[in-house]
């Protein structure tokens, strides 16, 4: 299976078309704020791998991030969140999938900024 694109322009452009530029930019700003909160929690979870409550919180947050990312076209981030969710659910180590998600989140934020500015992402 091939890797999903960083940004699915079809989904992203449809969202902007439905909401308009200003409201679409507000949705992206809210999404990026949401990412920041998830990242802080996941970094904490990666540092304390034996905490079952924290693992469940990672699973729930990864699930929410997967849904949010998919709705705005952040396909690679949705996939990275799915992998974190699965690892948390299965009891697998979280450090590698969380590290991959963090890298993907940074690239996604840049791609979204570029797309909002009218560039190709």
Residue spans per domain, the chain: 9-116
- The predicted structure's pLDDT at residue 14: 96
Q: Could you please state the CATH topology (level 3) that the domain comprising 9-116 is classified under.
A: 1.20.120
Residues 6+ apart with CB under 8 A from 35: 65, 77, 105, 108, 109
Closest by Cα among 91, 93, 101, 32 to 62? 101
Q: Give this prediction's pTM.
A: 0.91
- pLDDT of 1: 64
CA separation for the pair 57, 61 (Å, rounded): 6
Q: What is the pLDDT of residues 69-79, one digit of tens each?
A: 999 999 999 99
Question: Cα(72)–Cα(52) distance, rounded to whole angstroms?
Answer: 31
pLDDT at 52: 85
């Amino acid at each position: 299976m091939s890797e999903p694109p960083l940004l699915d322009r079809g989904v992203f452009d449809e969202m902007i078309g439905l909401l308009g530029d200003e409201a679409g930019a507000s949705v992206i700003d809210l999404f990026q704020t949401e990412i920041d909160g998830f990242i802080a929690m996941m970094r904490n979870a990666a540092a304390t791998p034996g905490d079952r409550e924290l693992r469940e919180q990672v699973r729930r947050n990864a699930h929410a991030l997967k849904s949010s990312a998919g709705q705005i076209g952040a396909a690679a981030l949705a996939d990275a969140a799915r992998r974190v969710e699965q690892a948390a659910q299965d009891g697998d180590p979280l450090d590698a999938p969380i590290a991959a998600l963090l890298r993907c989140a940074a690239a996604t934020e840049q791609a979204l900024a570029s797309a909002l500015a009218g560039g190709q992402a």
